[in-house]
Amino acid sequence: MTPVFERMVVVGLGLLGGSVAAAAKQRGAVNRVVGATRREEVRRAALAKGVCDEVAELELAVRGADLLVLATPVSAMGPTLRRVAGGLEPGCVVTDVGSVKAPLCDTLPGLLPRGVPYVGSHPMAGSHARGFEHADPALFVGRPCVVMTDAAAAPRQRIADFWRALGADVLERDPASHDAEVAWVSHLPHLLAYAFAGGLGAAPPGAAEVRSSGFEDFTRIARSDPEMWSEILTGNRKALAAPVQAVRRRLAELVEAIEADDTEALERLLAEARDALATGGGRRSVAPKDAELPTTARPGGTRESKHDS
C-alpha cells in the first residue's frame, strides 16, 4: 500500500486512538506513527507492541507531522489544538474521532494556522471496553467512517483515503446531518441501555440468575465509560431530543396496548418495529467504494484515488 501520509501523530492512545495507530502501522497507511499520551505505561506499551514508531511530549510530537489525529475526549480537543497550533506546518491535515461534530467543526478550524486544514471525521466503531490494552488494528474494517463535507475537497480526499486505508467504508455528511443521524443510531441506544440498567435496582433478587443472551445483548453498551458518554449525550443534546420524544411516544403506545390486553394492537406495533429495522435506522447504506471524490495530486507527483457510527 502506498502511504497516504508520511508522519501521523495520534493524540490520545485509548481504544480509538490506539486502534488508529495500530491499524495505520499494520496496514501501511502512513510511514511513521507517533503517539502522544500523558500515561507513561501506555507510552511503553505502544513502543513495546510496535504500535508506534515513537512517542513524545505533545509539542515535540507534532513537529513535522502531516497528519494530526485527535483521539482525546471532545472537550479536550480545543485546548489540545491551542497548545500545538504554533508547531503545525502548512500542509498538515488535522482530523479527529469525536462522536459529535457540529461543535468541533465550528470551533477547531479557527484555532489552526493558515495552511493547516481541519477535516472532521467519525469512525463508527468502538467497544464498551476502554483503554490502549483493547486497541485493535481491525477495529475499523467494514465499519462506516463519516467524513465532514464542510472541509475543502483536497484535504477531505486525503482523510477519506486514510480511513479507507484502515479498512473503513467512507460516508460524507455535513456536521448537522451527522449529529442528527448518530443521535438515532448510536446515542439514543446508549441512553436507553443506561436507563434500563439504571432501573435494575427494582428487579426481583433472583433476576440476575436467569438472565441470558438477550439481556447481555441489550445491556452490553451500558458497560461503556460513563464519563465519555455523559459528555457525548450532553454535547448532542439538541439532536437527541427528537429521537427521545419519538421513543417515548412508541413506548407509551406499547404500554397502553399491554395494559388493555389488546394483542392485535400489540402485534401490529411489534411488527412495525421489526419492519423499521429493515427500512430505517437498522439498515446501513454505505456508498460504493468506487464512488470516489475528485482525484487530487499528492506530493511527489503521485495521484490520490478516492467512509461512521
* Local mean pLDDT, 10-residue blocks, the chain (309 residues): 96 96 97 95 95 95 97 96 96 97 97 97 89 95 97 97 98 98 97 97 95 95 94 96 97 98 97 89 42 34 31
Instruction: Find the radius of gyration of the CA atoms of the chain.
Output: 21
Structural domains of the chain in order of their starting residue, each with its CATH number = 7-175+286-304 (3.40.50.720), 179-279 (1.10.3660.10)
Q: How far apart are CA 58 and CA 47, in angstroms?
A: 16
Q: Where are the beta strands (DSSP E) in 53-177?
A: 54-55, 67-70, 93-96, 121-123, 144-148, 169-173
pLDDT score at 110: 97
pLDDT score at 280: 67
pLDDT score at 141: 97
Q: Which three cell numbers stand for residue 232?
A: 457525548
pLDDT score at 260: 98
